[in-house]
Structure 1
Amino acid sequence: MLRSELQLSLRFRIVAVLAAVLVSGAVALGVVAWHSAAVAAQQAYDRLLSGGAVQIAENVFVQGATVAVEPPVSAIATLSAYDLVFYKVVDPRGVVIAGYEDLASDADPVAARRGTVLEDGQYLGQPVRIATLAREVDLPDSRGWVTIVIAQTVEARRALAWDLTFKALAIIAVVSLCALAATAWALGLALEPLTRIEREIAGRKPDDLRPIGVAPPVEISALVHAIDGFMRRLSDRMALMQRFIADAAHQIRTPLAALDAQLEILQATPSARRKAEAIQRVRERAAELGRLTGQLLDHAMVIHRSDAMAAQPVALNPLAKSVLAKAVPLSLPREVDIAFLPDAAEPVVAGDAVSLREALGNLIDNALKHGARGRLTVAIGSNEAMGWVEVADDGDGFPAPPETLLPAFAKGEQSTGSGLGLSIAAEVARAHQGELTVLREAGLTRVRLSLARRPR
């Protein structure tokens, strides 16, 4: 339903705009056609009217001492075939020798002597077109000018103008309808790729987030690429969440089972001393479960903030110093030499301070609980492209070579933890265009959290 409304809306808007343009153009062309047709009709009938005046002038002659005229029947009949015709002939004395005496003309006599003068007028209550022409004649004792005035009503002119206009409008209407039909057909072809893309997306399963396979037109290629990018990011996020859920289910199942077993032992233990030992183990398991739950929540938080938070400048020296101060407890079951080595260059990276604190706190906590025997060092370093925080301890390290640990980190040989701390740090490193590396040298295990100084 939504697709149909969208397509109808697009088609309607495009066709409506084109129809408005065509109607406006048709109106303008209609006005031009009417004006052109009126001018053409006027010119055609003016030529006939002027020709009639010339033919009457050619039939004026002098007989004795008077001027006479023999009206050309053919010329009058030709003009009368289209409209009513009136004429008069005035001799040099101003006497009307033929025609209608009350037929008047406002033409300039001097202009009439140079050629036919055409004008609009009224006669017998009707609009007429008047042609005035003067002809010089030789009289026995002088020379004079004979004036010929001929008028014709304008009904035929108007009929011809309307006929030409209607024919032009008919042509304009046919062309406009053809243009609208061609537009509707072209729109169907233009929207077909959108329809194919819609069918492909609608036919997919919910977990199918592959790029769109239909080749888009150039005009919507940016939109399709943006949709592909969105689906790729959504697929990555779904993969992260699925991995997180799987990790959470796996990690929580073990301490819950152990806690349940301890409760059964506690229930079956009769002596007070054994009960106290069982209660202590229950407390330890509960504390372990609490730490694990906190780490899982921290992991989920890091995954969310990696895309949701904008990068901000973060100074590594004060960040690492504050995290180290909070991560080291006031008392430890063993003596550990804690050292902090800042970088004189005062490196600043682009990132999320909350995620970085969480990652660095997990590295320090891992080193204290599962690694360091008597020495822990947090060192800051940098170069032009990267800044890093390195946590080193003198513990036994990891059970496998460092290069085989990434990207899935293993726990230490004596560790009772979940291994999520390093996973969280690795996620933070990837979100900051960096990496988490592990080195074993000179009896020290070095875990380095590298971060890009500028986002790429």
Structure 2
Amino acid sequence: MSELRLSLRVRIIAVLTAVLTVGAVALGFAAWHSSWLAAQQAYDRLLSGGAVQIAENVYVQGGVVTVDPPVSAIATLAAYDLVFYKVVDPRGVVVAGYDDLMSDADSVDIRAGVVLEDGLYQGQPVRIASLARQLELPGTNNWTTIVVAQTTEARRALARDLTLKALGVIAVMSVLALLATAYAVTLALKPLTRIEREIASRRPDDLRPIAAEPPNEVRNLVQAIDGFMHRLSERMAIMQRFIADAAHQIRTPLAALDAQVEILLGTPASRRKAETVTRIHERTAELGRLTGQLLDHAMVIHRRDAAAMAAVDLNQLAKSVLAKAVPLSLPREVDIAFVPAETSPTVNGDAISLREALSNLIDNALRHGARSRLIVTVGGDHGGTWIEVADDGEGFAAPVSELLLPFAKGLTSAGSGLGLSIATEVAQAHHGTLEVSRNDGMTRVRLRLASS
């Protein structure tokens, strides 16, 4: 990825440069238009004044229209450009000036005042002022026409000069605006630089909130980062505690297994040896179950925030889990029943995590609870939907709050104490709870979930 895309400063300055460039071009055109209008109006006033002065010097002498050209007016106009004029008497006879100087102005309009227009004379663009003056002559048509033309080079030069000066001002202001913006952006990004340095200088296990005070525009971003680090810190604490507890729990069956192997090695072939092999088999099975539950617990913790949720039919889920969780043979006679809900409730959840939670609850009930009965029930009430595993065992000796923690023990010291913890993690991930109760001679563990 290029620096242009990475750097917020460069992107802001680039966008502002583009905006200022477009604005400068637009202002340049506006400056040219305004300058041309200003030059046009200034020279039009001079041209109109010159035409009026010539008209005032037209008079009748001996019945003939005569003109005494005002030298000062013509000199003023000629100081900037070439000047041409023509005076036509009421008969249409040119009494002074250039015969071929023509005007397209309407005769009615020029009698009301000076009429200005653009034209072409002797191959040069000119500005033409036309004016009619009424003289005291016999007859009805006694209007004399005065036409004055001036080339436009001086106008264009003035407009060009005004435009260049305006463009200079626009360029200076654009550069100043760009420099001011670059400086302002640098000042505005300084808090982000401090935040960056603070995060970069931290140790990997330092997940405290960011101490640098952020500007208001990025306060929500910094708060989101703080929230993420807080959740990450909690998750790391859970995993560290879990790893420490798991290491402690695994050492016990490993030590017992090692002791049984030592006994086996030092015992001659006899019935004692067969009993030792049986205990080794039991310890190995216990270690395998503990390892499986540890992996299940880690998987549930991982899927809590990573798994995609989908609609799960609780009747179908409970039926399939019960069929797989009950072993083909049990050391004692247990009556197993499944009571589905009438309406097949569904929840928006992670089917894999729910399956693991229910499987652990059923396994716990069969191994450490049920003496002769186990019932799996799916139902719902005003608090949501639920799956309940009930057995006729003696229940739990430890308080419920302790049972829901990892490696907590129930009535006996057998087992890893992970079954209820896994179910609790799954319930919390689905915005639900795990409820433990005892009534009607049955110990009931209910996995309550929020309805979809």
**Could you say which residue in structure 2 is the equivalent of 1:156?**
154
Aligned counterparts, 1:7-406, within 5 A: 9-92=7-90, 96-100=94-98, 103-109=101-107, 111-138=109-136, 144-214=142-212, 216-217=214-215, 219-344=217-342, 346-402=344-400, 404-406=402-404
Report the Cα distance in structure 2 between the residues aligned to 1:363 and 1:20, rounded to whole angstroms. 66
Specify the code of the residue in structure 1 equivalent to 2:264: L
Q: CA deviation at 1:441?
A: 4.8
Residue 448 of structure 1 pairs with residue 445 of structure 2: yes
Aligned-partner Cα distance in 2 for 1:64–1:29: 59
CA deviation after TM superposition for structure 1 residue 95, in Å: 5.1
Instruction: Give the C-alpha shift of residue 404 in structure 1.
Output: 4.8
The TM-score, its normalising length taken from structure 1, stands at 0.84
CA apart distance, 1:451: 1.8
TM-score (norm 2): 0.85
5+ residue gaps, structure 1, are none
Question: Could you tell me the percent identity over the aligned residues?
Answer: 71
CA distance in structure 2 between the aligned counterparts of 1:216 and 1:320, rounded to whole angstroms: 51
**CA–CA separation in structure 2 for the residues paired with 1:372 and 1:181:** 80
* More displaced 10-residue stretch of structure 1: 399-408 or 293-302: 399-408
Task: Quickly say closer, same or farther: Cα 1:360–1:127, change in 2 above 3 A.
Answer: closer
Q: Which amino acid aligns with 2:396?
A: F
User: Is there any run of 5+ residues in structure 2 with no aligned partner, and where?
Assistant: none
Query: Is the CA contact 1:396–1:412 (under 8 Å) kept in the aligned structure 2?
Result: no
C-alpha distance in 2 between matches for 1:156 and 1:170: 21
User: 3-state DSSP class of the match of 1:248?
Assistant: helix
Q: CA distance change for structure 1 residues 360 and 296 in 2, over 3 Å: closer, same or farther?
A: same
CA deviations on 1:106-130 (whole Å, 9 max, x unpaired) are 5555544443343434445443333
Mapped partners of 2:16, 2:130: distance in 1: 51
Change (3 A) 1:431 1:145: closer
Cα deviation, residue 8, structure 1: 6.6
Cα distance in structure 1, aligned partners of 2:399 and 2:125: 113
Kept in 1: contact 2:433–2:449 (CA 8 A): no
Query: Judging changes above 3 Å, is the alpha-carbon distance between structure 1 residues 38 and 264 closer, same or farther for their aligned structure 2 residues?
Result: same
CA distance in 2, matches of 1:325, 1:88: 118
Q: Distance in 1 between matches of 2:334 and 2:103?
A: 128
Cα pair 1:429 1:449 within 8 Å, conserved: no
Closer/same/farther in 2, CA of residues 159 and 289 from structure 1, 3 Å limit:
same
Give the root-mean-square deviation of aligned CA atoms.
3.4
C-alpha contact 1:378 1:391 (8 A) present in aligned 2:
yes
Number of residue-to-residue matches in the alignment = 452
Question: 275-284 or 89-98, which moves further after superposition?
Answer: 89-98
What's the CA shift for 1:359?
Answer: 2.2
